[in-house]
Chain A
Amino acid sequence: MNCPSCISGSLNNGKYLCTLEDYRVVDNSNNLIWVVETHDIQSDEEEINDSTNIKYCICKYWET
């Protein structure tokens, strides 16, 4: 399936993940694709390690 943003790229399965330092897009092996934004959420909060399944393109488009 082609990316609706850049058209030429393809959509891959991955995750939108909240780590200790940032929100990031990772592939299904948890390899970093790109960092969305850093945060200052405390390490003991439930949001840390929360993830959502997404489809992403290397052009930095993603969707659920």
Chain B
Amino acid sequence: MPDIGKINSIAIGSIGKVNNQTFSDSFKILGITKAATGGTPTTFLTKQSDWGGTGGKGTTYGLGFVPTGWQTNTTDTVYGSTTSDKQWTSDAGGTTTSGGTGPTDGHDSSQGIDGDGRETVNSDYVYTEVSSQFNKRFLLRTPELDFTNALSNNTLKLYFWFHMYGSDIGNLGVAATDSSTSAGDSTLGKHFTSDTAGGLTITFWDDNSDDGSSTSSAVRITGQQQTAGHGSTSVDAHWRLAAVDLNDLAGQSSVYLWFFSKSSSSFRGDVCIDDVEVVGEE
């Protein structure tokens, strides 16, 4: 197919209106799509690889320790009148404590979104410790994000790496609100509405190919994903990448992204995330 750049000597990219209707980026008329306007690549949330809380490495990691600006409170709302039951736990590296669940170590943060899911020694991550915490809700949110100048050109994305190994894994979801205390706030229309519904669609690696060649999309990642972990260095134990399209949130001046997990009924259910970042263009 030829690349049509002009119609009647007018560059398609310069067309502002057609029949008095705004011809916006990515709009399609008669099969001709206006290419998205390129902006300046921008990081809206710097990749979070160090989960050591306000003290950084060397301090005591554990239940409720999260970096400055992040929040994991049991007083925060998941949806409706339902509040969180448990805090997420920061881990300074290595396995989670229970056998048969969790990763071998944190994701290798030198591996970008075009990299792979290998772990690296003594690398932080954050997770839900489900020993003795069955059928509980865990809620974690990012610092406030400002998308005022973000372009609505389909580049605004949340990326994170996840590890869900164990015979009794619950689920993992992502929501966006303009409330700092509620993942159920409906103002932005990207909120949780139940344990299994609402929030943003997650596109995630769904097999052990370790290269993103196979993906699925859903509002929850549910059940065991990795088929190895907790001491295994095989490719089957590698972390997997998840991406969330935030295009609808471009222009919003105050956004919080929420990570929610509901545990299942056994100790082999640790849900872990690492290397969380938000990128786009201005």
Give the nearest-CB partner of B229 in chain A.
A64
B132 within 8 A of A: yes
Q: How far is the CA of A58 from the CA of B171 in the complex (A)?
A: 37
A42 within 8 A of B: yes
Q: How many residues of A contact B (CB 8 A)?
A: 20
B154 within 8 A of A: no
What is the interface of chain B mostly: helix, strand, loop, or mixed?
loop
- One digit per residue, 1 when the CB lies within 8 angstroms of any chain B CB and 0 when it does not, for chain A 21-64 equals 00100000000000011011110011100111010000000111
Q: How far is the CA of A13 from the CA of B266 in the complex (A)?
A: 27
The answer to whether B231 touches A45, judged by C-beta atoms less than 8 angstroms apart, is no
B99 within 8 A of A: yes
Q: Which residues of B contact A51 (CB under 8 A)?
A: 99
The answer to whether A39 touches B131, judged by C-beta atoms less than 8 angstroms apart, is yes
The answer to whether A45 touches B99, judged by C-beta atoms less than 8 angstroms apart, is no
The answer to whether A63 touches B132, judged by C-beta atoms less than 8 angstroms apart, is no
How near does chain B come to A47, taking the closest CB pair, in angstroms?
4
Q: A47-B131, A54-B231, A64-B232 are in contact. Are A23 and B267 (CB under 8 A)?
A: no
Q: How far is the CA of A52 from the CA of B267 in the complex (A)?
A: 14
Q: How far is the CA of A54 from the CA of B100 in the complex (A)?
A: 11
A3 within 8 A of B: no
Give the nearest-CB partner of A63 in chain B.
B231
Give the nearest-CB partner of B234 in chain A.
A64
The answer to whether B98 touches A47, judged by C-beta atoms less than 8 angstroms apart, is yes
The 7 closest A-B pairs by CB, nearest first: A64-B231, A52-B99, A47-B267, A64-B232, A63-B231, A16-B99, A23-B97
- Which residues of B are interface residues toward A (Cβ below 8 A)? 97-100, 104, 131-132, 228, 230-233, 266-267
Sample 27 A-B pairs with CB under 8 A, ordered by A number.
A16-B99, A16-B231, A17-B99, A18-B98, A18-B99, A23-B98, A23-B99, A36-B97, A39-B97, A41-B131, A41-B132, A45-B131, A45-B267, A46-B267, A47-B98, A47-B267, A50-B98, A50-B99, A50-B100, A51-B99, A52-B99, A52-B230, A52-B231, A62-B231, A63-B104, A63-B232, A64-B231
